[in-house]
Structure 1
Amino acid sequence: MNRQFFISTPGLAALLGIIAAAVPIAHAQESGVPPVEPSFTQGEAQSDISTLFEWKGENPRTANIGTIRSDDGVEWTVPAKTHFGTAMKAPDLYNEANAVTPDRVADVNLAQIPVIDAGGDEVFTAYIFGDNYFEFYVNGNLLAVDPIPMTPFNSSVIRFKAQRPFTIGIMGVDWEERLGLGFEKFRGAVFHQGDAGLVAVVKDESEETVAVTDQSWKAQTFYTSPLKSKECLVLKGPWRDSSNCGTDDVDDGTSHFAAHWPIPDDWAAADFDDRDWPNAVTYTNDFVGVENKPAYTNFTDLFDNPSADAKFIWSSSLVHDNLVLLRTTIER
């Protein structure tokens, strides 16, 4: 995300360090699980470049994907291998590209939104604002993907039938313009590090909130960049901590590194063992910078309800970690 304000590098690095220190790294160390060493790439992806989506309105952006090969011979899709071209697009809560711009959640006609069968008889509604892209799973089944990979900033509403308990899995991607490097353009800076974040609310048929994004969710990183050096990445058990890596703009980031980990095929399944994954880290609205994003601010009564306040969540680094998998289970 391109914020409309910028925290200085020392201040941001210190804040990220404080956030990382507050999350349960000790649990990761005590789990006895050895860290999974990443594959590293260096420089920008040059192969198989294709365009998923192009926005020509205000703040025009092109969402491309490409491939890059690491030193160990593995080919990686950056920023992520997605189902954007084949899966159902999530219905719009707010989407400027489709001229869907309600002023409040009461203006959204839920009856017009199809209900996806995820196995069960109870109907649930999920409201999601993601920076930038998400894919939404229930019990390992992909239900819908974000219709906008990068900009304009949008939000979505997904209705589905399920049986409690069920597991929600969300793949979150912070898109990039310099593929494999994590950089984007911002206010004249060609090598600017964007930031991420995702917020969601899930309600049942009676409009009772059954889940919000918070620190109880699990969050694991699978692609992080840019890294000025490999050494700034700290691995502690299953914890992949890039919060000590620099966040400042640079004149030339073409020699920076990226770290990649393979994604388990069954990561979104209900019986996937995520006990050793770190818990999600929460971030404030101000820190994420959503004060000028109507896809979020038009629905603060939903996302910021005092009795069920959904938090922006991600991994320990909102800036570096570009592909994060998120999980939670809705109990009976």
Structure 2
Amino acid sequence: MNRRAPRMLRSTAALLTVFAAFPSVTHAQSPDVTNDQKPSFTQGEAQTDIIKLFKWTGSNPRTANVGTIKASDGTEWTVPAKTHFQSAPRAADLYNEANGVTPDGIDNVDLEAIPAINAGGDELFTGYVFGDNYFEFYVNGKLLAVDPVPMTPFNSNIIRFKANRPFTVGIMGVDWEERLGLGFEQFRGAPFHQGDAGLVAVIKDAAGETIAITDRSWKAQTFYTAPLKTKDCLVLRGAIRDSSNCSTEDTADGTAYFAAHWPIPPNWAAVDFDDRGWPNAVTFTNDFVGVDNKPAYTNFTDLFDAPRADAHFIWTSSLVHDNLVLMRTTVGKQQDQ
């Protein structure tokens, strides 16, 4: 997403929430969690296996590509992420200009027309997601749906599913890039602009009651961080991968910048995955994220910003640098809500 507020103001606000989000207690870890896993670094732009996933030719035209890049340790990485965009079911549209779905509000959305996906249960739930830019939505380790638009136009989505409480929700969020492997996008003529991310979600039950929202109780971990002007700006401490001190300034030439990568655990979305070592999600305000001109969000503020269930935008320590983020939570039983 393109940034408009002063960078210094945003960075200060982010740091205040970052420090509050890091866990102060260390737990014994199962093999699922490696607290001190060192990153694999790449430098420069990806030049191989470039594939066009999606092209938007409307306002703010963008092309979402994916490619591969080799690290100094010989590891090959897919950037910005290895996704299921080409193979998984697409989430239903809440608002999607690319498909001509542009309701003025939730009252104009026919939820009954959206099939419910079987996630291994009998109770009906509806998830609403606005992600910058791309998401994949899991329940109990099963991939239910992916974002139909990897980059632009900005859209929002609905996932209806059947499950039994408690259930585990996993969301992979990707902040897409145009300079593959560098984390840069083009903005107002600047070829090396540092965009930002963020994701907000609400889950309701069959009675329309909100049973889960994105907030600081979620776990969130980054697995791809860029652009890094220098590698040593990263703060690595146990499971903490903090890029909030790295430069957020645009540049005339970012081709020598670095990126940090970590392998994704294959069972990260499963119910029994041990995420206790992951940091809690960092929350960001609507103003900080910059959604006042995004009708995919603003047409549904009664849903996302309900007075008694106000969902927060969540991410990791840096909306700017952390481009591939895994987020998890467990939704409890009815009596625990």
- TM-score, normalised to structure 2, is 0.95
Q: Distance in 2 between matches of 1:255 and 1:231?
A: 15
Q: Distance in 1 between matches of 2:324 and 2:141?
A: 18
Deviation of the 1:24 alpha carbon: 2.0
Determine if contact 2:211/2:331 at 8 Å carries over to the other structure.
yes
Determine if contact 2:14/2:284 at 8 Å carries over to the other structure.
no
The residue number in structure 1 matching 2:151 is: 150
SS in 1 for 2:69: strand
Residues 241-252 of structure 1 mapped to structure 2, 5 A cutoff: 241-252=242-253
The residue number in structure 2 matching 1:271 is: 272
Letter in 1 for 2:22: P
Q: 1:325 to 1:34 in 2, by over 3 A?
A: closer
The residue number in structure 1 matching 2:191 is: 190
Q: 1:213 to 1:174 in 2, by over 3 A?
A: same
Letter in 1 for 2:271: A
Q: Distance in 1 between matches of 2:248 and 2:17?
A: 15
Deviation of the 1:25 alpha carbon: 5.0
Determine if contact 2:226/2:258 at 8 Å carries over to the other structure.
yes
Letter in 2 for 1:214: D
Determine if contact 2:10/2:288 at 8 Å carries over to the other structure.
no
1:207 aligns with 2:170: no
The residue number in structure 1 matching 2:10 is: 12
For structure 1, which segment, 128-137 or 180-189, has the greater mean C-alpha deviation from structure 2 after superposition? 180-189
**Identity over aligned pairs, percent:** 70
Letter in 1 for 2:5: F
Any idea what the Cα deviations from partners look like across 1:262-286, whole Å, max 9, x if unmatched? 0000000001000111000000000
Residues 87-126 of structure 1 mapped to structure 2, 5 A cutoff: 87-126=88-127
SS in 2 for 1:231: helix
Letter in 1 for 2:213: V
Deviation of the 1:46 alpha carbon: 0.2
Q: 1:34 to 1:273 in 2, by over 3 A?
A: closer
Deviation of the 1:2 alpha carbon: 1.3
Letter in 1 for 2:247: G
The residue number in structure 2 matching 1:2 is: 2
Deviation of the 1:35 alpha carbon: 1.6
Q: Distance in 2 between matches of 1:26 and 1:41?
A: 31
Deviation of the 1:57 alpha carbon: 0.2
- TM-score, normalised to structure 1, is 0.97
Deviation of the 1:19 alpha carbon: 2.6
Residues 170-319 of structure 1 mapped to structure 2, 5 A cutoff: 170-319=171-320
Q: Any gaps of 5 or more consecutive residues in structure 1? A: none
Aligned length: 329
Letter in 2 for 1:312: F
Determine if contact 2:135/2:147 at 8 Å carries over to the other structure.
yes
Deviation of the 1:34 alpha carbon: 4.2
Any idea what the Cα deviations from partners look like across 1:119-170, whole Å, max 9, x if unmatched? 0100000000000000000000000000000000000001000011110000
1:166 aligns with 2:164: no
Q: Distance in 1 between matches of 2:207 and 2:306?
A: 16
Determine if contact 2:35/2:277 at 8 Å carries over to the other structure.
no
Any idea what the Cα deviations from partners look like across 1:282-331, whole Å, max 9, x if unmatched? 00000000000000000000000011000000001011000000000011
Q: Any gaps of 5 or more consecutive residues in structure 2? A: none
Q: 1:31 to 1:15 in 2, by over 3 A?
A: farther
Residues 19-34 of structure 1 mapped to structure 2, 5 A cutoff: 19-27=17-25, 34=35
Letter in 2 for 1:21: F
Q: Distance in 2 between matches of 1:235 and 1:25?
A: 14
Any idea what the Cα deviations from partners look like across 1:18-55, whole Å, max 9, x if unmatched? 23222225346x87974210000000000000100000
The residue number in structure 1 matching 2:39 is: 38
SS in 2 for 1:26: coil
Q: Distance in 2 between matches of 1:249 and 1:24?
A: 28
Determine if contact 1:25/1:236 at 8 Å carries over to the other structure.
no
Deviation of the 1:187 alpha carbon: 1.3
Deviation of the 1:173 alpha carbon: 0.2
Q: Distance in 1 between matches of 2:141 and 2:120?
A: 11
SS in 2 for 1:246: coil
SS in 2 for 1:20: helix
